[in-house]
Amino acid sequence: MPDEQKQTTHFGYQQVDPDEKAGKVADVFHSVAAKYDVMNDVMSFGIHRVWKRFTLELSAVRKGQRVLDIAGGTGDLAAKFSQRVGQQGQVVLSDINQSMLATGRSRLIDRGVVGNIDYVQANAECLPFADNYFDCITIAFGLRNVTHIDKALQSMRRTLKPGGRLLILEFSKPVVPGLSPLYDHYSFKLLPLMGKLIANDADSYRYLAESIRMHPGQDQLLQMMETAGLERCEYFNLTGGIVALHKGYKI
């Protein structure tokens, strides 16, 4: 009998061995870590700050709570959560990429964000935390880089307390008529050019555009959250659906 076809996964538009994807994604973020914040501002025209502010408001995080920010990068959300939970609370900034985690840690220490924040290098698919531990988990612009999204969602649900909520902020599918062709032109022509000029890395930002197109759309991701056991799931389209915020609860 012929050998079974080897399973692959996507890395942008490429098909790769699932065991190789994490390393390839790591190479991308090792490359862009130093310029990550600058590029975020440039490529979103600063609007990413509005998307994250909306995420913060919907998180309903309060004093004394425990928050996990997965793929937390350079710490934008973690810094805000640190203020909200206070010294009786706890924030864990987690990233699978050592370069991003180190950059985030240095950045937050420089800003005086200390005392209630921990840094953990971890894979979202197998989070190294106890069951029923966190009041809130967020992942902003990181889920599309995960090899097995279903495993990551299950891992997040496991570590949430009953009543805890998961918020996923991610690029999605435009819903405004006529927006898709303009967005495609921006993504595949202008974005790699900006990456080359600012971060000296066009390829990583070409991967970014491709990874967005391969990520599940709004309704598909909602179904995946429900399959993982999350309840009361909903999503909010932002900037015409270019970005969506998904929210679900562990009941």
Average model confidence (pLDDT) for the chain?
A: 89
pLDDT tens for 76-114 read 999 999 999 999 999 999 999 898 899 899 999 999 998
Residue 166, strand partner residues? 137, 248
CA of 162: how far to CAs of 128, 132, 230, 231, in Å? 18, 7, 10, 11
For the CA atoms of 112, 94, 157, 223, the dihedral, rounded to the nearest 10 degrees, stands at 110
Q: Which helix (H) or strand (E) holds 161?
A: strand 160-171
Total-model pTM? 0.87
| Distant-in-sequence, close-in-space partners of 123: CB < 8 Å, separation ≥ 6 | 22, 96
Give the closest residue to 48 by CA, choosing from 141, 138, 184. 141
pLDDT at 1: 42
Name which CATH class applies to 48-177+217-249: alpha beta
**Residue 69: φ, ψ to 5°:** -110, 105
The answer to whether 170 touches 153, Cβ cutoff 8 Å, is no
